Structure formats: structure tokens, C-alpha cells
Structure 1
Amino acid sequence: MRNAGLGSWPARRARMSPRREAFTFEGASTTYEEVARRTTKLARRLEELGVRHGDRVAYLGPNHPAFAETMFAAHLLGAIFVPLNFRLSTAEIDYQLADCGARVLVHAPQFRSDHPSTVSLDDYETWLEGGSDEPLDVPVSIEDSALILYTSGTTGRPKGAVLSHANLLWNTFNLMIGVDIAADEAALVAAPLFHVAALTQTLLPTFVKGGRSVITPRWDVTACLELIEKEQVTWMFGVATMYADLAASPRWPAADLSSLRVLLCGGSPVPDSVIRTYQDRGLVFCQGYGLTETAPGATFLEAADSVRKAGSAGVPVFFADVRLADTGEIEVQGPNVTPGYWNDPVATANAFTEDGWFRTGDVGRLDDEGYFYIVDRVKDMFISGGENVYPAEVENAISDHPGVAEVAVVGVPDQRWGEVGRAFVRPRPGALVDAAGLRDFLLPRLAKYKIPVHVDVVAELPRTGSGKVLKHALRRLPPP
């Protein structure tokens, strides 16, 4: 087999465990043998549409087994898979399709596109079955590009981060060293697969081990609690907001979570109150840190330290190195780090230091045992009266308030202090949160200059497709 990339994984896994279930979706399961056959037929179909080594194949739609099949099929041909955020506007999606030069777009039926070569999931099964199951033997190097993942665009127009097959393989090694993944895993894939963590921290490691990925098309708290019990889910990945929503559900106290072995969390700093909520249920809650550009794992807090070092993002993953620059910015080097951005040599050059370390744009600190703590984004920090204020620290303190479900803090202009904090608070159902009461709550917890001057109570916060809060959208709101 001359294919050293991910495209060979279905056939390799099928010859080891053909009848083991690979994917469960809406009550129906697909075995590894079936995935291997379907992936080959799909690759033949894509080949008929002109897809060749190095071409781009895009996917647009909610989580679905067809996402994984399209990715593996593209990789069988040596093509580059481009998962698109279906929550974006048509103009944003069109920009990314044009930027990557997609040869084919596979899409869910609710999404329409003027792209000249499209395949709708409405016709997917019939179209796929018409393909040949004759095995392919396209040479694919492990250093070839595998994915183009568009960054969430929290600070501007998104860039296409390129990840090679090697990046994804090394990230899988790192994850499997940090988490004791077993062959009988049932992983809940509820975070969007177009986001790097759901794909590379959950689905791919589970696939390598021959476990089962329980795929759900959308994040739904009630449905996910039911799936955990029904499918005996053993592990999952989520962002802090997802875990906060689960714990706030009226079903939480009685939910059967006995099958869960480990919970992974990342994407943004996690409030201590959220971590404690899960640990109080006897669950192993492990936080990690990374970016799309690091595939994504850069640091990880293993289960043995998850209570003692709660709130830490852990230590560098096995096959990577992490350091702090003089400014406190986190920098990463290793085989999991992107080679650069698609068709953007300037952005690529700016992303690396002179000695080859990737600049994350995040500020961190180290404790005396070498454990990393994520302070905030460099660009989110603001200066109030000459003092640096990191919103993540303020958000963590506000999250301890019993009436607060979620909060985001940004810096806004102020004539006296230069900048002051503005907090956007989503209260828990039935709770009343007001500015005066919140400031009284924070006085014994934060220095006065860190306490937000302005407090907005909101029903929801604007988000990227991966669940991160769009702080630049909050900054653009009219002044209080």
C-alpha cells in the first residue's frame, strides 16, 4: 500500500476488525468493513469528477458519517479535505471555496451553492453505490497536505491552516499517550467536526483504536444526555460552554453518567466552577490546550493530575515542545505544528519565530512544577489605568457567581482610565443578575481595576462555529 496517509486507515482498520462498529448515527451503525468499502467507492466517484492528487474536496454540513467518508475518500486520492463551517454566511462560505479552489463540494441538502461541481447528501447514497470498489493505489506521502482548516476569524478574515498527514498522525500519537483509549471506546462526537478538536481529538483516535464514534448532527443537551446512557458513551470532547450547558440541564442531577471514563475540554479557558461541577460527580475532567495550527494538541493535563492541578492546561504533549516568550506568549514546536497557511506566505512567515517556533497569540504562565496555565489571548488583554487586565481571569471570577451561566469580558474605551472592562453576562434560568450585585460579589475576589465597570445582561453570546465567543463582535456593540 503506497498510501501512507489517512486515506489508508479504513482498509487497515477493516483488515484488523472488519465487523466492529465504526460509526453510529441516528440509531444506525456502520462497520469498519463497510466504511472501507464505501470509502473506496466514494473515492472512485470523486475520481470521475476529476479529483486528483493535490486537489481540494470540500464538505459543508452538520456532523454526519458522510463527513468522515468524504475525508478518507479524498485522502485515498491524495486530495486535500476542506471542512467548512456551515454556520457561516453564504458570502463567507463562497470566499473559502474560492480561496481553496475546491474541485468538488459535498454538502447537506439544506445548503445550496453555485459551485460547478457539487454532490448533495440527498443523492449521496445512490451516487456512492454507483462507484467501483476496485482498490486504489495512489502514492501519498505522510508529508503531503491533508486538511485545510479555516481559522475561526475571531480577529479578522479567516486563514486556511494547512495540516499534513504527519501532523494528524503525530497528534493522534500525542492524544493516545495522554488518554488511555481502548478498543471498546464509544466516543460521543457532538462538537462540530469542522472544528479540529472534534475531528482529531475524538473521531480519529477512536477510529485508529477500532472504537465506535457516536455521531450527533448538532449539540443538543437533552439528546446528548440520553445518548450517553443509551450508547454507553465512554468519552467525549467539548468546549467549556457545552459542559456548562450540560451541568445546567434539569436532567443533570439524575443523569446516568456511569459509563463515562474521561471528559476532554479545550478551546478556551475553563472556569474553575465548571471543572468542580464534574469532579463533584466523580468524573475525570481533563483540560488541554492547543490551536487549529497545532492539530490541535499542544499541552494536556492527564487524568492522574486532573484533580490536583484542576484549572491547568497541563504539560507539553509527548511529541511537542512548548515555551513562554519574554512577553508571556506561548510558543510551540513539534511534528504536529502546521507547515503554514494556504496561499499566504506572509501570514506563514509572521506565524513563526526566527528559530522556528509557532507563535500562538496566547498568554500563559508556568507553575513551579512546569504546568501551564492559559491566561488569555494577547489581543484580548486590555490596559486600564496602566494595569494589564486579562479578561479570562475576570470571567473565571464572575463564573463563580451562582446566578451566572456564562460570561464574556472585553475592554472598552474610557476617558479616565483608557480602557475598562465590559462584561456580557448570560444568567442561569430564573436567576437575576445586576451590575451592582455583581460588583459587590467581585470586590473580595479581584483588584478593583479588574472589576468590569459596565455589565450587560444578555440572552446569548455571539459565537464562532467551534463555540468560541466572538469578542470582536462584542467590542463593536454601541458603547454602554
Structure 2
Amino acid sequence: MTQWRTIPEMVLSAADRFGDAEAVVDYGDNPAGTDGPLRLSFAEVAERIRTASGAFSRFGVGKGDRVALWAPNSAEWIIAAFGLMTAGGVLVPVNTRFKPDEAADVIARSGAKAVLAQKGFLGQDFDIPGVPTIDLKSDFLSGGTPFEGAVDGGDISDVIYTSGTTGRPKGAMMNHSQTLRMYEEWATLADLREGDRYLMINPYFHTFGLKAGLVASFLRGATMLPVAVFDIDRVVDLIAVERITMLPGPPTLYHSLLTVADKNRLATLRAGVTGAADIPVELVRRIHDELPFQTLMTGYGLTEAGNVTLSRPGDSSVDVATTAGLPCEGVEVRVADDGEVLVRGYSVMQGYLDDPVATAEAIDTDGWLHTGDLGEFTESGRLRIVGRKKDMFIVGGFNAYPAEIEGYLLEHPAVAQVAVIGVADDRLGQVGKAFVVLDENPGAAGTSADELLAWSRERMAGYKVPRYLAFLDELPLNATGKVMKDRLGTRLGAG
């Protein structure tokens, strides 16, 4: 348990707890090692957050009002997010990989009063019709009078959209107190320490980036170094120049680090955290043998329940690679008769925003959250995730939902039927493969796989776009007309 009731109370107290210690180092678009990164102390960040809170209040944001934030990792993202919460507002982070139509749907359904966006990032048009758009890089955040709104521990702090086990994203609501308790434990087990220098590759719009990243760093007094777009050469430069000690990321990150020729440039790395995909035991052994990490944590969690299980200090390479660790304190985990992982406890979300039907489907009358994941416990009591009840697969750490991808592909005039599955990929863990039945209209016959994939890239976030596409005369259907996806992955070849 923490001594603070709310996230703003904890974040602002960092000014007193850590004072002039470096809180944020943001290189923006500048290469590592050049002059000009923004460097802010905890005292300076706290003052900027109070000022941003005043700006939101002046804009008309009151207690419980939602504001969307659609931008890459940056110092401004940090100041905006916690400034909004300090004003009493509710943060709605939006995936920067979304295309405008995908983002507009989430923002509209969230009821956001405004959206803060970084103009021109990844070439996106960040204007959402009907919702005031504020340029995150403008002087908006510095234009207020320092202000702290009334916030309680039970108030909703953020609404993070997830597709759960079906295609359309739903907004999982979390409150201040459960978030603080959850990431206090995470920071302890991840061995995050005061003075650590934390390179933040995980995007802030994701639960991990926002909470295991920013909230945990304010809890412990770790320096936050945001990375907007992952590039291994830039990451290695930042590790060397800024003497990075903490570096969580998906397995693909560690694969990349193992290829670095001059391992001396990585010498300061002490703590790593991975997960989100199956990790080969050999990869974990190589990380321990060839990289300087002293600790490597893994775990299992989801947007609707934060951390569910985490590994413990001293866990073996086999435990870290093949299990997701032990249940967190105050969190019950059980495996239902059909193999589904169920979770109950303080960390379970407050529900899906404006969706009581989906909430009731996800959380039963006994308070158990039905995760949609299939798992089993080892003899040592560690959870092993063995599959997904409803098809979801993970591409480089991002959840991809076949139903949503299929919906987009069906909008193409040449596509009559489509089924998407996840297939193994050495670099990303899994990628999508689409099986398509073409329409019988005259214009469909000449449609190529390359054309459909190019069309998809214009409409979907990159991780959702299938890596492979095969044409079939018909999809394998069962007696009720449902696609038998297990046959797609075996008899028809999924590679």
C-alpha cells in the first residue's frame, strides 16, 4: 500500500522527495550525444504539471471530464497526462499507430472534451471532426495558472481502450488508488530504484508505458527518458550517452541488443522487464550470459486488470521464459474448467466506459474477470499462459484482434470472405496471416495479395496489417457456419 490516495498527490510530492534530481531527459528529434535535450528536475516537472493543470481548468476541464492524448512519448506527454489528472480530468490515451478513422471512433465514444495531438507525427492527420484538437507542442500546457483540483482515490484516473476478446475497442476504467497500489508492487519486483535511468521504449498510450513506466518512475524517483520511435542504433546511443540502467521492452528488443557489436556501450544496463510474447529459454539464457542485466522480470497482465502475475527475484531462466510468475499480492487467479484464466481482486477495472453489457460479460457476479486467455499452473504455483480463448495474437507487444482486422478487409470490394490467424514470427513473436475468398464480381478476379496488403496499410495500424495473405476457394466452415481456424493453421499451412 502507498501513502498517497491519488496519482497527482504522489506525482507532485516527487518535488519534495527528489527535488533537483533529474526527472525527464527528452532528446526529441535530436540524436543522442548532441546538444539540446530537454532536462527537467522533479521540482521543475511538478511545477509544469501544476501549470498544465491550470491550462486544462481554464479550458473548461472539470472533475471527471475526459481528454484524449494522441501523441508519441515525450516530455509534453508526461506533463499533459499528469496535468490533466491534477485538474481532476480523466486521461484517454490513444494508440499512435491508429489511422484517423480508428482514433476518431475511440475518441468519439470516450466523450472526450478535447484531444491533444502531436501534429505530423508519422505523417498522420491528427484532426478529429467535432472535437477540439490542441497541438501538444504548442504553448497550451504552459499557459495556465498553477492549479490543483479536488481528486479522490476512488475517482477514475484513466480510460484505456482495448479490444478485450472481441474486435471493437472498449474503454477500461481504472481509478487512482488501485493504480498506485499495483505499480508500487511492480516497482519493487522490477527492482526499480531511486536514481535509475529508465529508457522508455514502451509507448505511453499503453498501460505498461503509462503505469509501469511513468507512474512507477515518479514512485521511485527514476529518471524518465522517452523514446518516440524505436530505432536500435538510437537506443544504443542513448544507453551509452545517458548511462541507462533500466530498459523494459518486448523480446524483440533483447534480440536486437544481442546483435550489438560493442557490448561495452551497454555496460550500465542493470534491470530489464519483458513479456507480451512467448520467450525462448535460450533467449533468456543469452540475456543473462551476454548482456549486463542483473535482473530480468516477466509477468502477465491486461488492460482490464493491470498486473496479474509477476516473476520474483531469483527466478530461473526457465521460470522467466516459460511462466508468467506468481499472482500479485491481493490478486486472486484461478483457471476455470475450460482453461480460461480468471482474475479477482483490487486490481480489476471499474468496468468498461458506457458499456454495462460488455462489463457484465467480462466480470461475472462473483467478481471474476474472464480474461479470454487460457492458462495452467505449474507445480510451483506459477502461471503459464498456453493460448487465447478467442484468437487474439500479439505482434511485437501489441494485441491484434482477428475480428477487427477481418472487418477492415471485408470493406474491400473484392473480398467476399476472410479469416485471420496469428502465425509464428522469429522477430515479432507473431504476425497475422489472412485467408481470403474473393468476390465473384468481374473486378475481383485480378486482385493480388500485394494490392490487398497495400490497401490494408492505408487503413490499419501497421501491427494489424497481415504479414501474409493467401487466397482460397472457400473457408473451412463447421455445421453452424463458423470458420474452423484450427484448420487454417494446420491443414492449409500457416507459415
In structure 2, the CA distance between the partners of 1:278 and 1:47, relative to structure 1 (3 Å rule), is: same
- Corresponding residue of 2:368: 357
Please list, as runs of the form range in 1=range in 2, the aligned pairs for 1:429-444 lying within 5 A after superposition: none
Q: Is the 8 A contact 2:172 2:304 kept in 1?
A: yes
Query: What CA distance in whole angstroms lies between the structure 1 residues aligned with 2:100 and 2:318?
Result: 46
Structure 2: which amino acid aligns with 1:64? S
Structure 1: which amino acid aligns with 2:12? A
In structure 2, the CA distance between the partners of 1:83 and 1:405, relative to structure 1 (3 Å rule), is: closer
| Residue aligned with 1:119, SS | strand
Q: 1:408 aligned to 2:430?
A: yes
- Corresponding residue of 2:126: 112
Q: CA deviation at 1:25?
A: 0.5
Q: CA deviation at 1:203?
A: 2.0
Question: For 1:284-332, what per-residue CA distance to the aligned partner results, in whole angstroms no more than 9, with x for missing partners?
Answer: 322111001112x111112311425232211011231211111111111
Query: What CA distance in whole angstroms lies between the structure 1 residues aligned with 2:13 and 2:392?
Result: 47
Q: CA deviation at 1:176?
A: 2.6
Q: 1:7 aligned to 2:27?
A: no
Query: What CA distance in whole angstroms lies between the structure 1 residues aligned with 2:187 and 2:137?
Result: 36
Question: For 1:161-204, what per-residue CA distance to the aligned partner results, in whole angstroms no more than 9, with x for missing partners?
Answer: 11111221121122033123211111110111101111211221
- Corresponding residue of 2:25: 24
Structure 2: which amino acid aligns with 1:96? V
For residue 132 of structure 1, the aligned residue among 134, 141, 145 is: 145
In structure 2, the CA distance between the partners of 1:79 and 1:466, relative to structure 1 (3 Å rule), is: farther
- Corresponding residue of 1:266: 275
For residue 136 of structure 2, the aligned residue among 115, 118, 121 is: 121
Q: CA deviation at 1:29?
A: 1.1
In structure 2, the CA distance between the partners of 1:211 and 1:405, relative to structure 1 (3 Å rule), is: closer
Q: Where does the alignment leave 5 or more consecutive residues of structure 1 unmatched?
A: 383-390, 414-457
For residue 375 of structure 1, the aligned residue among 386, 390, 409 is: 386
Structure 2: which amino acid aligns with 1:76? T
Please list, as runs of the form range in 1=range in 2, the aligned pairs for 1:250-265 lying within 5 A after superposition: 251-252=260-261, 254-265=263-274
Structure 2: which amino acid aligns with 1:46? F
Q: Is the 8 A contact 1:56 1:100 kept in 2?
A: yes
In structure 2, the CA distance between the partners of 1:477 and 1:169, relative to structure 1 (3 Å rule), is: farther
Please list, as runs of the form range in 1=range in 2, the aligned pairs for 1:85-234 lying within 5 A after superposition: 85-110=95-120, 111-113=125-127, 114-124=129-139, 127-133=140-146, 135-136=147-148, 138-151=149-162, 155-234=166-245
- Corresponding residue of 1:318: 329
In structure 2, the CA distance between the partners of 1:174 and 1:466, relative to structure 1 (3 Å rule), is: farther
Query: What CA distance in whole angstroms lies between the structure 2 residues aligned with 1:129 and 1:343?
Result: 33
For residue 300 of structure 1, the aligned residue among 293, 307, 310 is: 310
In structure 2, the CA distance between the partners of 1:83 and 1:412, relative to structure 1 (3 Å rule), is: closer
Structure 2: which amino acid aligns with 1:261? R
- Corresponding residue of 1:45: 55
Query: What CA distance in whole angstroms lies between the structure 2 residues aligned with 1:36 and 1:206?
Result: 13
Q: 1:478 aligned to 2:471?
A: yes
| Residue aligned with 1:302, SS | coil
| Residue aligned with 2:64, SS | coil
Q: CA deviation at 1:42?
A: 1.0
Q: Is the 8 A contact 1:49 1:104 kept in 2?
A: no
In structure 2, the CA distance between the partners of 1:406 and 1:146, relative to structure 1 (3 Å rule), is: closer
> Equivalent pairs: percent with the same residue?
30
Q: CA deviation at 1:359?
A: 1.0
Q: Is the 8 A contact 2:50 2:83 kept in 1?
A: yes
Structure 2: which amino acid aligns with 1:299? T
TM norm structure 2:
0.75
| Residue aligned with 2:180, SS | helix
Query: What CA distance in whole angstroms lies between the structure 2 residues aligned with 1:302 and 1:90?
Result: 41
TM norm structure 1:
0.78
Query: What CA distance in whole angstroms lies between the structure 2 residues aligned with 1:102 and 1:412?
Result: 34
In structure 2, the CA distance between the partners of 1:60 and 1:381, relative to structure 1 (3 Å rule), is: closer
Q: Where does the alignment leave 5 or more consecutive residues of structure 2 unmatched?
A: 28-36, 394-420, 436-452, 473-491
- Corresponding residue of 1:58: 68
Query: What CA distance in whole angstroms lies between the structure 1 residues aligned with 2:106 and 2:117?
Result: 14
Q: Is the 8 A contact 1:202 1:236 kept in 2?
A: no
After superposition, the CA RMSD in angstroms is 3.0
Query: What CA distance in whole angstroms lies between the structure 2 residues aligned with 1:146 and 1:381?
Result: 27
Q: Is the 8 A contact 1:294 1:337 kept in 2?
A: yes
- Corresponding residue of 1:451: none
- Corresponding residue of 1:416: none
Q: CA deviation at 1:224?
A: 0.9
Structure 2: which amino acid aligns with 1:121? L
Q: CA deviation at 1:72?
A: 1.0
Q: Is the 8 A contact 1:328 1:364 kept in 2?
A: yes
